[in-house]
Amino acid sequence: MKDTIRFELNNKPQEVTIDKERTLLWVLRNDLDLTGTKYGCGMGLCGACSVLVDNKPVRSCQVTADFVDGKKVVTVEGLGTKDKLHPVQQAFVDHDALQCGYCTPGMIITATGLLYKNPSPTREEIIDAMDENFCRCGAYTRIIDAIQAASKKMKGGI
Amino acid sequence: MKKNNNNFIDLLDSTIPKGMGRRAFLKRFSGGVVIAVSLMDFQALEAAVLQEYPADLNAYLSIDKDGRVTSYTGKIEMGQGVITSLAQMIAEELDVKFSDVEMIMGDTDLCPYDRGTWGSLTTRMFGPALRSAGAEARAILLEMASEKMNVPVSELSVNEGIVFEVKNKQNKLSYAELAQGARIVKSLKNKPVLKDPKDFKIIGKSHLKVDSPDKVTGGAKYAGDIRVPGMVFAKILRPPSHAAKRIKVDVSAVQGVKEIDLIQDGDLIAVLHEDPEVAEKYLNNIKAEYDVPTSGLNENTIFDHLMNVAPEGTLISEGGNLTEGKKGAEEYLEAKFLDGYVAHSPMEPHTAMAMMENGKMKVWASTQNPFGLKSIIANELKLQEENVQVLQVFVGGGFGGKSSNGQAVEAAKLAKISGKPVMVAWTRREEFFYDTFRPAAVIKINSGCKKDGKLTLWDYGVYFAGQRGAQHFYDIPNHKTVAYNSGWTAEAGAHPFATGAWRAPSNNTNSFARESQINIMAAKIGMDPVEFRFKNLKDERMIRTLKAAVDKFGWTSIKSPSGKGWGIACGVDAGAYVALMAKINVDKSNGKVVVERVVVAQDMGLVINPQGATIQAEGCVTMGLGYALSEDIQFAGGEIHNRNFDSYEIPRFSWTPKIEVELLDLPYEPAQGGGEPAIIVMGALIANAIYDAIGVRLYQMPMTPDRILKGLKNKN
Ligand code: FES
Ligand code: FES
């Protein structure tokens, strides 16, 4: 059964006609070619698949497509471009806050969601908000530094 | 040595090894200067490593008519940062801007053969070779400039790709202008003169990762991100256990379903569909029955089993006389150390996309060895090697686990059978099942020392961990080191599932045992564990590394257990020396360890990208916390119980200590490996710190809260 789902995707209106029970992660990656959002565990455990839905980080492997109907979705591709990086993206580059980069989109999205909610988080608040995002390469300390730097640069506003 | 040759095509043709897509290669070189490098003359390499390489050439460097510098190597980038550090080396020797160098890596048609990206060999092997290629290219371009400008080479200099006359800087020519119309291909045999480290402008300076902008915007392509029209996802029928035999399968529920392709090829049963969830849904309708033999093997019984099936030992080293050593000992200790199975768990599971195009199999795979994969696929699918191409993608972490490429063989098979482009992306559940785990292992050590701290005896036997790192580096008059089963894989019947190389293979387990034993001996005679080490060290490199750690950490003499929670451990891996120190806290009520601070002192010779090397060491410390504290595969025979991160806990933000890395400044010494050394001693570091904190000695990894609580109970 197909349904039409309308939402805002990376600042543009988007319409898809699909089985609304499908997992958002695969709709983004396979139907909309937004492959920046990654699969890591499929069980909501690792955070690699995080996207912003109405500015809140959501694990796209854990929700169906109809969850975003009428909402605003931002994936890592919608934050900034290589020529015009979003401050969080820029901070990750400046702090070398990645190695293989596979966890990076999920980290950046979750961090951006945190900064929407709490523009000036303490180190502890960052660790708390990010703790369910895994990085096997072990870039954690640099990611914390990057988020703090981004927070300062954005001076509380996104 | 081959002379400069204007017959571009002929020379290239004769220097490109068989199996390389010559046409694809030549298409990229419409002109310019090409230097082909052979590794054979770089003596720093172990003969055994060199043997596996073709003798003629192993890397290319080209300066094309637009002045673009491109380097081709068969290595891959999986987070270790070589895409940045290799480019730094070339830019340095060639005197071009770092941003003008592009790396083409791991494409089996475009790049010369490489046996695989592992063993911390990239910088050690390709470093000297690529630097030489850069130096040679620079020399050739200078000669050309000299001719064109009518100025002797000795009066010319280069800055950022512009050759100029030292006395008259306005008289200049760019590399682009020089390469225009040139068709020079040179095969480098003799080592040209490399820059003196004091003249370095790019090597030894920290450089941000070049691949970050692509990775932070989601543009970087990993194998799973390849999109091809008409592609489908495969879901494959999996057994419940490695020992399972399929006795019955009933595909009737999905047979004839129009929207899917059902593939049955021997043992391989797969459902293909453009939506992985639909493929999965139909796969679940296939009914299979298995015969699963019962097995008493699990994470507790495995160690006795391994001792029972251990093969004859291989002598690694010996000296003096063990009986004398025991007689001379005033303190004597026999200990046994255990290490369970550990998963690689890169965040990107094994993934591959394969398609047949005009008789050629093209494969994008998360692999550490594209060339090995190419041969396997050619073999399995009965294709000519030149009809298989593995293409360049970023790899989302490897750690040794992606030298095994089952998913890519599956994708290629299914692509060939179905005639469609097929993606095989293992789920996390599959990843935990088909991983080649770090082997469970046992180490037995008998050691003795005098009351003044001098070691007299070291009798060391390692079972199933492998040889790397088994050899101690202390000055002990009577010693013997034997490996029972010398690698990380073993004869059938030893392990209930596949095992393989895991970041610094063998060395994590060996260093856990050795460095724990050293601290136990020191505690026995009431000596500070650092002082004890100095007493037994003659190796100058280790002495200076340990001193650097002492200074950075601020170590002062302790009598362990001091209650401070201080740990110390040293090791040697991939030519590099490390000494790590830590400060931890143990909560006696629940057995939880919190690591507050870790100091790494590392002698890795010449450091190409200090920040890159620091990041690798930080990653080693962080990843190492996992095998030290929590990671342990639970199983019953061939059935794996931890199949996702809920039951297999990897390090996370809240575990991460403050990490301080000190890289010894040794620009005149050969570059050594940096991606593995600091991880090897994480087990011993934590074990020694736990003992110092609460007086409990743990002989088994991981050091879980349960084991710590049990240790506390036994102690009281
Ligand atoms: S893939 Fe969604 S949380 Fe891991
Ligand atoms: S950078 Fe590799 S998993 Fe985080």
- All residues of chain A having their beta carbon less than 8 Å from the beta carbon of residue B679 are none
Q: Name the B residues in 565-624 with CB < 8 Å from any A CB.
A: 611-612, 615, 618-623
pLDDT of residue B652: 98
Residues B509 and B409 in one domain: no
Name B477's bridge partners: none
Final residue before a domain boundary, out of B181, B208, B235:
B208
* Ligand 2, atom 4: closest residue by C-alpha: A135
At residue B14 the predicted structure's pLDDT band, cuts being 50, 70 and 90, is: very low
User: Are B276 and B248 in a shared domain?
Assistant: yes
pLDDT band per the 50, 70, 90 thresholds, residue B487:
confident
pLDDT, mean of residues B96-108: 92
CA distance B439 to B701: 12
Q: Is residue B627 in a domain?
A: yes
- Residue B716's Cβ-count burial label (10 Å; 0-12, 13-18, 19+) is exposed
Neighbouring C-alpha atoms within 13 Å toward the C-beta of B105: 26
One domain for residues B197 and B252: no
Q: How far is the CA of A38 from the centre of ligand 1 (A)?
A: 8
Q: Residues B123, B249: one domain?
A: no
Nearest-10 Cα torsion for B678, B679, B684, B689: 70
Residue that finishes a domain, picked among B425, B450, B481: B425
Nearest-by-CA chain A residue for B648: A45
A46 Cα: distance to centroid of ligand 1 (angstroms): 5
- Average pLDDT of the residues in B470-486: 96
Mean pLDDT of B243-259: 96
Give the pairing of strands A56-59 and A50-53: antiparallel
Q: State the CATH number of the domain containing residue B161.
A: 3.30.365.10
Q: How many C-beta atoms lie closer than 10 Å to residue A131's C-beta?
A: 14
Tell me which residues of chain B, numbers 109 to 148, contact chain A at a CB-CB cutoff of 8 Å.
none
Asked whether residue B275 carries a pLDDT value surpassing 90, the answer given is: yes
Residue type, B341: Y
Confidence grade of residue B117 (pLDDT, cut at 50, 70, 90): confident
Boundary-marking domain end, from A78, A96, A126: A78
CA dihedral B454, B460, B466, B472 (to 10 degrees): 10
Q: State the average pLDDT over residues B629-653.
A: 98
Q: What is the pLDDT of residue A158?
A: 60
Q: How much of chain B, in percent, has pLDDT values that exceed 90?
A: 79
d(CA A137, CA B399): 9
HEC profile of chain A: CCEEEEEEECCEEEEEEECCCCEHHHHHHHHCCCCCCCCCCCCCCCCCCEEEECCEEEECCCCEHHHHCCCEEECHHHHCCCCCCCHHHHHHHHCCCCCCCCCHHHHHHHHHHHHHHCCCCCHHHHHHHHCCCCCCCCCHHHHHHHHHHHHHHCCCCC
Ligand 1 atom at minimum distance from A25 CA: 2
Q: Does the CB atom of residue A48 touch ligand 1 within 6 A?
A: yes
CB contact under 8 A, A140 and B348: no
User: Which structure tokens are listed for B350?
Assistant: 């094994």
- Chain B contact for A36 (CB, 8 A cutoff): yes
Taking residues B451-478, what's their average pLDDT? Answer: 97
Q: Compute, in degrees rounded to 10, the torsion defined by CA atoms A72, A75, A80, A85.
A: 130
- In this structure, the answer to whether residues A130 and A67 fall within a common structural domain is no
* Cα separation, B516 vs B583, whole angstroms: 16
**Confidence label for B52 from pLDDT (cuts 50, 70 and 90):** low
3-state secondary structure of B251: coil
* Residue numbers of the domain that contains B378: 223-291+350-425
pLDDT tens digits, B377-404: 999 999 999 999 999 999 999 999 999 9
More confident residue, B140 or B546: B546
Whether residues B370 and B331 fall in one domain: no
How many domains would you assign to chain A?
2
Ligand 1 near A127 CB (within 6 A): no
Does B448 have pLDDT greater than 50? yes
8 Å CB contact of A102 and B623: no
In this complex, do A134 and B222 lie within 8 Å of one another by their Cβ atoms?
no
Q: Pick the ligand that lies closest to the CA of residue A61.
A: 1
Q: Same domain for B485 and B589? A: yes
Question: CA–CA separation, B442 vs B428, rounded Å?
Answer: 29
Q: What is the pLDDT of residues B665-678, one digit of tens each?
A: 999 998 888 889 99
Average pLDDT of chain B is: 91
Chain B residues touching residue A105 (CB < 8 angstroms): 216, 218
Of A39, A40, A82, nearest to B219 by CB-CB distance is A82
Query: End of a domain among A78, A112, A140?
Result: A78
Q: What pLDDT, on the 0 to 100 scale, is given for residue B27?
A: 58
- Domain hosting residue A61, numbered range: 2-78
pLDDT of residue B351: 98
β partners of residue B532: none
Helix axis angle, A140-153 to A87-94, nearest 10°: 130
Q: B400 and chain A: CB distance < 8 Å anywhere?
A: no
Same structural domain for residues A121 and A63? no
A34 near B CB under 8 A: yes
* Euclidean distance between CA atoms A103 and B197, whole angstroms: 36
Show pLDDT as tens, one digit a residue, over chain A (158 residues).
789 999 999 999 999 999 999 999 999 999 999 999 999 999 999 999 999 999 999 999 999 999 999 999 999 999 999 999 999 999 999 999 999 999 999 999 999 999 999 999 999 999 999 999 999 999 999 999 999 999 999 975 66
Exposed/middle/buried for residue B230 (C-beta within 10 Å: 0-12, 13-18, 19+): exposed
Write out the H or E segment, with its range, that includes residue B623.
Answer: helix B610-629
Greater model confidence, B317 or B33:
B317
CA distance A149 to A151: 5
CATH of the domain at A95: 1.10.150.120
Asked if B533 and B568 touch (Cβ cutoff 8 Å), the reply is: yes
| Pair A20, A54 in one domain | yes
Residue B431 covered by a domain: no
Average pLDDT over residues B687-710: 98
Asked if B48 reaches chain A (Cβ–Cβ under 8 Å), the answer is no
Q: Are residues B527 and B579 in the same domain?
A: yes
Query: What are the distances in angstroms from CA B139 to CA B154, B163, B308, B503?
Result: 11, 11, 62, 39
Q: How far apart are CA A146 and CA B249, in angstroms?
A: 52
Flag whether B704 is in a domain: yes
* The pLDDT of residue B56: 47
**Pocket, ligand 2, Cβ cutoff 6 A:** A 98-104, 135-137, 139; B 79, 347, 397
Which pLDDT tens digit goes with each residue over B20-47? 444 555 555 666 777 776 665 554 455 5
> Does B621 share its domain with B708?
yes
| Across B220-243, average pLDDT | 98
- Rounded to the nearest angstrom, the minimum Cα separation between A25 and chain B is 11
* Average pLDDT score over residue span B249-257: 96
Between CA B276 and CA B271 the distance in angstroms is 9
Please indicate, yes or no, whether residues A59 and A100 belong to a single structural domain of this protein: no
Taking residues B167-194, what's their average pLDDT?
A: 82
Among B182, B208, B234, the domain-final residue is B208
Task: Read off the pLDDT of residues B325-369 as tens digits, 9 standing for 90 and up.
Answer: 999 999 999 999 999 999 999 999 999 999 999 999 999 999 999
- Whether the predicted pLDDT of B482 surpasses 80: yes
Question: Are A6 and A49 contained in the same domain?
Answer: yes
**Shared-domain flag, residues A97 and A149:** yes
Pair (A107, A66) in one structural domain: no
| Arithmetic mean of pLDDT, B643-647 | 97
Tell whether the model's pLDDT for residue B92 goes beyond 50.
yes
Nearest to A18 by CA among A66, A78, A51, A76: A66
Report how many domains make up chain B.
3
Does residue B6 have a pLDDT over 60? no
